[in-house]
Amino acid sequence: MSIALRTLDDGAWISVNDSRQVSVSDVWTLTTGTFCDCSPAYVLLEAFVDVDVDGSIVVAHAVGQCLECGTRDSIERLPVGRIVNDDFYPYDPEDVQWLVEPDGERP
């Protein structure tokens, strides 16, 4: 079965198979150097711009702001969850995250 992935409502959501799964306005914890120099960086996601799947990992292109240093920037390939047997399992924003490299595996 193919997975339907899209952003919705002006980037408020990532929809997976027509179900609103990941919301903006959560604070995501990113490892040092992936977004800014803060360690770790607590980044508020303000909008999803695009979404894609890399292997089994759903990755988002988003816009966010660091709550400590104020850096506002785009985030490429933020992993927001996994597809397992056609079901989506969202990651917890509070868990420290890495960004997915273009070739699809963790650094």
Partner 1 sequence: MPTDVEHWKDELYGTEIRAEIERFAGEGWESIPDDERDAWFERFKWFGLYHQRAGQESYFMLRIGPPSGVLEPGQFRRLVELADEFSRGPAENPEFGNGWLDVTTRQAIQLHWIRLEDVPELFDRLEEVGLSTVQACGDSWRNIVGCPVAGKDKHEHVDAGALATELNETFKQNEAHSNLPRKWKVSVTGCDEGCGQGDINDLSFEPAEKELDGEMVTGYNVRVGGGLSRNEPRFARDIDVFATPEQAVDVAGGLSALFRDHGDRENRYNARMKFLVDEWGPEKIRETLQAEYVDFDLETAGDDLRESYSYNAGDADGKHDHVGVHEQVDGNFYVGLNVLVGRIGVDDAYEIADAAEEYASGEVRLTQRQNIILTDVPDENLDALLEETVFEEYSPDPHPFQRGSIACTGTEFCSLSIVETKNRQVRYARWLKENVDLPDGVEDFHIHLSGCTASCAQPQIADVSLRGMKTRKNGDPVEALDIGLGGGLGENPQFASWVAERVPADEVPGAIANLLENFAAARDGTESFREFVLERDDEELADLIEPEETDYDDPYLHNTKRTWYPYAEDDDLEASPAPARADGTPIPSDD
Binding site for partner 1 (CB under 8 A): 4, 6, 8-13, 15, 17-20, 23-27, 42, 44, 46-47, 49, 65, 67-68, 70
CA-nearest of 48, 47, 43 to 67 is 43
> What is the rounded distance in angstroms from the CA atom of residue 106 to the CA atom of residue 99?
8
Return all residues near 2 (Cβ < 8 A) that are at least 6 apart.
none
Smallest separation (angstroms) from partner 1 to the CB of 84: 14
Residue 101 main-chain phi, psi, to 5 deg: -70, 155
Nearer to partner 1, 70 or 107 (CB): 70
Nearer to partner 1, 40 or 79 (CB): 40
Nearer to partner 1, 29 or 99 (CB): 29
